[in-house]
Structure 1
């Protein structure tokens, strides 16, 4: 008997209640009966939720999205319309009446919910994911996995202790070209690799903005979460109309810019081919330009050099074509998303990124991976893989520790951007060697009562 069924029967027994039968469409019986489905709650209902996480997850018959949560009452109302409308079109009127929450902690205590998708701003990833794990919920969390290295380590440790299924939203793992490239590299098709070049753009500086009244539809204090209290500006949060790219992506208070925003995607994929998924660099150094004026303050043009114990050097810069280029003794392989975007407002130069897989010799790409060679985890779609793993209890293609390690590369790279020196990193203990200033940047002060420091576990 599942957790949900047990709680329902216990409630009936203790209260001595009798419920009248509910009339439901015939399509919900048999393999599609509600009791056979994975009940989901959506936490965060902005751009990436609507365009990507909700859109992809709703397609799967094995799941039902029964709840939505956001600190913006307009956005959560829109999300409910989206969910209810989707199911009405598919299953008939009245099939779904998604419950609305304005506080994810209330959603997490709903015993009917089996799993949650967390599509919040970057500074609100780790805390709800940790609390979801402690509540026994399975989790799909958007990248970057954490705001700091220490926060990410706590998340990974608690997820493992609780035994829940956590999938990181690094969906490049479910795109065939990234798996093919990594398999070819791991099986020596370009010889011993010595260099990896990651193309990753920076962000432009922004306008000057003035303080504004907080909209009545937004719980701004909770939106700020563990970060410092600052005056509200629409430019620093998200648009009040529409779902275009939000301004918080360009504020260091809430993240680190593109080095974490897209960096976790590319560093995760690069690690797949480099066979460094469960470790990290041993040194990192960087140069970067930061805005001298304007409201947005994340990095612009930059270059990061990271050295690994296996002899590989990884360079990351906006000067390279967006994607990953593995260079070996016998040739090179380049892989990118091609023309794919997760959201209509993704800052992608589609023309330059159109070719998703390329090599120094076309024959490399048609090389067959034999049965006795390395074959990597295969997934057709990130959200579907998560749902399958919820049922089988197998680990997903982007588990929490791999996500934490990829995010850590982003975060130590950002620290190196701030410090004009080469940093030596110990990936085993996740500390810098002989640099107290750099180590102090592995965590951030947290504004009570928000933050992972205040979670009881």
Structure 2
């Protein structure tokens, strides 16, 4: 039943009861106020893994004007546990969300397309493996849903362009999960980017981005597909390949099992490794400070160690380990990205430098991060730079309190969010270009306007896309 019809019938029924009983019925103020059923944003969770349950549900549960009313996962074990995870997050956020406890019906789906067909759902957050982001995102906006999409935006640059164009055409609000653009919990990134954009370190020359690498490992032993997992749908548009738990996610049904770092993060079939995993955050911040959010590098080069470089390697995981890549932008700024740098972003100019990092932040205890012990969350070559005030006529960057709240505010106001799909596509594209340079072990030349290689580089061009299985395609 549509919510407006439901509200109408509820009010009429209440009025009828009042007349019949001949005494006033008390109707909660929320029925008529800003949190009336017709004004609430009904959100569904697509994906019930670690990022969904420990981050996205958490952020949305703090917002009084929205309700998570449905969950979906192709792993029935996780989907069935989804409502409890939703309610747990509401209980934890009860002090800031107006007392909400998630005590409403939460519907469970096992097929996201069935969820998207529901007219009772206004918006979805998509917290899935990287290879599913762009395709499910396109299906969601085409179904008329507003979307919060976990980064990176896509598996390939081609898919990212399809996603961005589809969102623009649909008119839906899509927020990328690039939470370093919001001041909660890390105000240092916006502050540093504003100082750089306003010339506090002179002319920007170099940006250093520190990212971790991933170790090899994982078991190749073929295992029977779990009865509760639709493994073919989990593979999605990527090629068919046998099941082993280290390729997917833990079958431990406990909260610890859901929260553990899944093996797919370390398989190139499903992503590019830390260059897009953490890189989608830090390179996005670098672009923000550089003023290159809608562009990208023109030259990229570097090298990386891959476990499969060793002919005797017996493990499953094959994403990059230690690496160093560099990129040149059209404005002359050089970017260096390496696991040998502290985890964070450092802007170096002609008159000093600025630095920002999350510190020792991990989503889970098993996340690899570069050693940042003793490193300040924000720092500068001269402490006076950090005390500088941005004047009214200077560059003021987008102000967002918290990423999920900003998304929901923008849904209500139909305004541009903090991290648009095009910005997310461009930061992801830069990461993927670094990955292509790692794989080719040579310099590549890129036209960020036309989004193609400039020197008829057929080998690099072939890496802009991947074959997709039709049954799970856009």
TM-score (norm: length of structure 1)? 0.92
Which residue does the alignment assign to 1:204?
215
RMSD across aligned positions (CA): 2.5
Which residue does the alignment assign to 1:447?
469
CA offsets 1:130-151 (integer angstroms, 9 cap, x no match): 0111111100000010001010
1:213 and 2:213 correspond: no
Q: 1:276 to 1:94 in 2, by over 3 A?
A: closer
More off after superposition, 89-98 vs 135-144? 89-98
| Residue 25 of structure 1, CA deviation | 9.2
Q: In structure 1, how many angstroms separate the alpha carbons of the residues matched to 2:101 and 2:442?
A: 62
Q: In structure 1, how many angstroms separate the alpha carbons of the residues matched to 2:101 and 2:383?
A: 53
| Residue 5 of structure 1, CA deviation | 4.9
Q: 1:328 to 1:85 in 2, by over 3 A?
A: closer
Which residue does the alignment assign to 1:171?
179
Which residue does the alignment assign to 2:20?
none
Q: 1:432 to 1:216 in 2, by over 3 A?
A: same
Q: In structure 2, how many angstroms separate the alpha carbons of the residues matched to 1:358 and 1:198?
A: 15
Q: 1:428 to 1:104 in 2, by over 3 A?
A: same
| Residue 355 of structure 1, CA deviation | 1.3
More off after superposition, 338-347 vs 252-261? 338-347
Q: Give the number of equivalent residue pairs.
A: 445
1:154 and 2:162 correspond: yes
1:383 and 2:404 correspond: yes
Aligned match of 1:335 in 347, 353, 356?
356
Q: In structure 2, how many angstroms separate the alpha carbons of the residues matched to 1:232 and 1:385?
A: 39
| Residue 342 of structure 1, CA deviation | 3.9
Q: In structure 2, how many angstroms separate the alpha carbons of the residues matched to 1:49 and 1:94?
A: 16
Q: In structure 2, how many angstroms separate the alpha carbons of the residues matched to 1:296 and 1:158?
A: 33
| Residue 447 of structure 1, CA deviation | 1.4
Give SS of 2:325's match. strand
Which residue does the alignment assign to 1:455?
none
Give SS of 2:286's match. helix
1:62 and 2:65 correspond: yes
Structure 2: unaligned runs, 5 residues or longer = 18-24
1:247 and 2:250 correspond: no
1:355 and 2:376 correspond: yes
1:125 and 2:133 correspond: yes
Q: 1:257 to 1:88 in 2, by over 3 A?
A: closer
Which residue does the alignment assign to 1:82?
85
Which residue does the alignment assign to 2:34?
31
| Residue 207 of structure 1, CA deviation | 3.5
| Residue 341 of structure 1, CA deviation | 3.6
Contact 1:209-1:295 at 8 Å conserved across structures: yes
Q: 1:357 to 1:373 in 2, by over 3 A?
A: same
Aligned match of 2:193 in 177, 182, 198?
182
| Residue 32 of structure 1, CA deviation | 2.3
Structure 1: unaligned runs, 5 residues or longer = 13-17, 453-457
| Residue 79 of structure 1, CA deviation | 1.1
Which residue does the alignment assign to 2:299?
283
Q: In structure 2, how many angstroms separate the alpha carbons of the residues matched to 1:92 and 1:183?
A: 36
1:432 and 2:441 correspond: no
Which residue does the alignment assign to 2:56?
53
| Residue 168 of structure 1, CA deviation | 0.3
1:115 and 2:123 correspond: yes
Q: In structure 1, how many angstroms separate the alpha carbons of the residues matched to 2:453 and 2:139?
A: 29
CA offsets 1:392-446 (integer angstroms, 9 cap, x no match): 1110000000000000001111111111321000001111122011001100001
Q: In structure 1, how many angstroms separate the alpha carbons of the residues matched to 2:373 and 2:178?
A: 22
Aligned match of 1:229 in 233, 240, 249?
240
Aligned match of 2:327 in 293, 302, 306?
306
Contact 2:342-2:371 at 8 Å conserved across structures: no
Give SS of 1:125's match. helix
Q: 1:305 to 1:86 in 2, by over 3 A?
A: closer
Q: In structure 1, how many angstroms separate the alpha carbons of the residues matched to 2:440 and 2:85?
A: 45
| Residue 253 of structure 1, CA deviation | 0.2
Contact 1:337-1:353 at 8 Å conserved across structures: no
Give SS of 2:471's match. coil
| Residue 451 of structure 1, CA deviation | 2.0
Aligned match of 1:95 in 83, 100, 103?
103
| Residue 85 of structure 1, CA deviation | 4.9
Contact 2:343-2:372 at 8 Å conserved across structures: no
Q: 1:19 to 1:415 in 2, by over 3 A?
A: farther
Aligned match of 2:423 in 399, 402, 411?
402
Contact 1:144-1:407 at 8 Å conserved across structures: yes
